[in-house]
Amino acid sequence: MAEANGLPRYSVAQLNQAIGSLLERGFAPRFLIDATISRPQLKKGHLWLTLVDGEATISAVIWASQLAKLSHQPAEGDGVVVVGKLNFWAARATLSVQVLDLRPSLSTVLRQFERVRQILEPEGLLAAERKRSLPPFPAAIALLTSVPSSALADMLRTAAERWPSTRLYQVAIPVQGQVEAEICRLLAQVIERADGLGIEAIVLARGGGSREDLAVFDGEGLARLLGASPVPVVTGLGHEDDTTIADLVADYRAATPTAAIVALLPDRLTVLQRLNQSRSQLGQALSFGLQAKRQQLASLKAQLELIRPSRLLAHQRQGLQQRRELLEALSPQRLLRRGFALVRSPSGQLLRSIKQIGCGDPFLVELADGRLQAQVTHVPPAQKQPPPCKPGPWNAA
């Protein structure tokens, strides 16, 4: 480089090299760009595209070696967050962004979520009434999550603490990148073998991550497979505020993987406490029931005692004795034994008045030990003087 009139002089190559050196010294080696994908073109395995934001554009490239590693394959109009660095080709003085990593932006994820939701909702796949209740004491469940992971460790620990008798089938699934097809393949295998293994519920879980990381669970294919599961599905994806299409289709949506296990498995200590309470209540109920039966039996025994034949016979005898005594008290014989007598006509008619018999009429006098034959010979003075009596047939005697 030579100077003329105090100004630096470059060749084209020297100028481009100086620009390149300046960029290398003055710009960050890596940076993030919020942009929208425009005109993506695949050439010789490399993906060339333009990053735009409505005000400016810049060229970008994803080399073939890096393109295979990306979790998201960008398409026209996708909002993305790019991890990149500057590439400056000195020979042509052209500048572009070399993409080191690329993820969909939140707006793109939410747009995909809404698109799939609008497809599935009219079919009733997201309806609350189709959701099934969870088994109260599942014999076996399948855990679909990344292995190893803190989410799996938390679920295994929680399951052992709450209900260790449940068999746990661990199914390792990928949770990063374009892995929906692989998740569907593994899920289909679990569904196919669920009946033979006695699996009563499926847990689909992923711990942590951003909403963009959960975009793999927004796929339509995965949603339809979850909806066709013959056993209830529980999801525990991301954080409490994150909702995916899989969450909407699942029979139960838990806030976290650990919460999914808590919702699915009973707590053995709580169950034991309830059993003890039930046993106590059952004992009290049996005690009260036996006491009531004893009282009922005592009452029936008392009633049987009242109607016992010997007792009834004694009661009847007592009644008869009372009636006999009453009859005895009212019997004419009792009066006769006391010195009274009954006066009857010869025909046996009881005479209650002197008007029923006249002077000289025969009559019978009934005493306690026999009868006497008699004849009227006199009427008391208080009565009208009767005519003189004539001797009757009994006077001859």
Q: Which fold has domain 109-269?
A: Rossmann fold (3.40.50)
pLDDT in tens, 338-381: 778 888 888 888 888 888 888 888 988 888 788 888 888 877 76
pLDDT in tens, 257-271: 999 999 999 999 999
Instruction: Assess contact for 375 and 364: CB atoms under 8 A.
Output: no
10 Å Cβ neighbour count for 244? 26
Picking from 264, 179, 258, the residue whose alpha carbon sits closest to that of residue 217 is: 179
| CATH 2.40.50.140 domain position(s) in the chain | 2-104
DSSP letters for 28-70? -SSEEEEEEEEEEEEETTEEEEEEE-SS-EEEEEE-HHHHTT-
pTM higher than 0.75, yes or no? no
Q: Is residue 370 classed as helix, strand or coil in its secondary structure?
A: strand
Determine the average pLDDT of the residues in 139-158.
94
Instruction: Assess contact for 76 and 40: CB atoms under 8 A.
Output: yes
pLDDT in tens, 62-111: 999 888 888 777 888 788 888 888 888 888 888 888 899 888 887 778 88
Which amino acid is it at 325? E
Q: Is residue 243 classed as helix, strand or coil in its secondary structure?
A: coil
Instruction: Assess contact for 239 and 208: CB atoms under 8 A.
Output: yes
- Report which DSSP code applies to 301: H
Q: What is the pLDDT, as a whole number, of residue 1?
A: 55
The angle that helices 220-227 and 180-197 make with each other, rounded to 10 degrees, is 10
Task: Report the distance separating Cα 182 and Cα 171, nearest Å.
Answer: 12
Task: Report the distance separating Cα 237 and Cα 203, nearest Å.
Answer: 10
Q: What is the pLDDT, as a whole number, of residue 387?
A: 59
Name the phi and psi angles at 166, rounded to 5: -75, 130
Task: Report the distance separating Cα 342 and Cα 364, nearest Å.
Answer: 8
Q: What is the pLDDT, as a whole number, of residue 391?
A: 56
Q: Is residue 282 classed as helix, strand or coil in its secondary structure?
A: helix
Structural tokens at position 337: 């034994």
Task: Report the distance separating Cα 116 and Cα 387, nearest Å.
Answer: 144
Q: What is the pLDDT, as a whole number, of residue 396?
A: 39
Residue with tokens 């710009």, as numbered in its chain: 27
Q: What is the pLDDT, as a whole number, of residue 6?
A: 74
Q: What is the pLDDT, as a whole number, of residue 224?
A: 95
Residue 231 has pLDDT above 80, yes or no: yes
Instruction: Assess contact for 245 and 116: CB atoms under 8 A.
Output: yes
| CATH 3.40.50.261 domain position(s) in the chain | 109-269
Q: What is the pLDDT, as a whole number, of residue 388?
A: 58
Residue 8 has pLDDT above 90, yes or no: no
Instruction: Assess contact for 143 and 203: CB atoms under 8 A.
Output: yes
pLDDT in tens, 19-56: 888 887 778 888 888 888 888 999 988 999 988 887 88
CATH classification (class only), 2-104: mainly beta
Q: What is the pLDDT, as a whole number, of residue 317?
A: 85
Q: What is the pLDDT, as a whole number, of residue 301?
A: 85
Q: Is residue 375 classed as helix, strand or coil in its secondary structure?
A: strand
Residue 395 has pLDDT above 80, yes or no: no
Residue 5 has pLDDT above 80, yes or no: no
Structure-model confidence comparison of residues 300 and 4, the more confident one? 300
- Report which DSSP code applies to 388: P
Q: What is the pLDDT, as a whole number, of residue 308?
A: 77
Q: What confidence category does residue 3 fall into, taking pLDDT thresholds of 50, 70 and 90?
A: low
10 Å Cβ neighbour count for 368? 14
pLDDT in tens, 247-302: 999 999 999 999 999 999 999 999 999 999 999 999 999 999 999 999 999 888 88
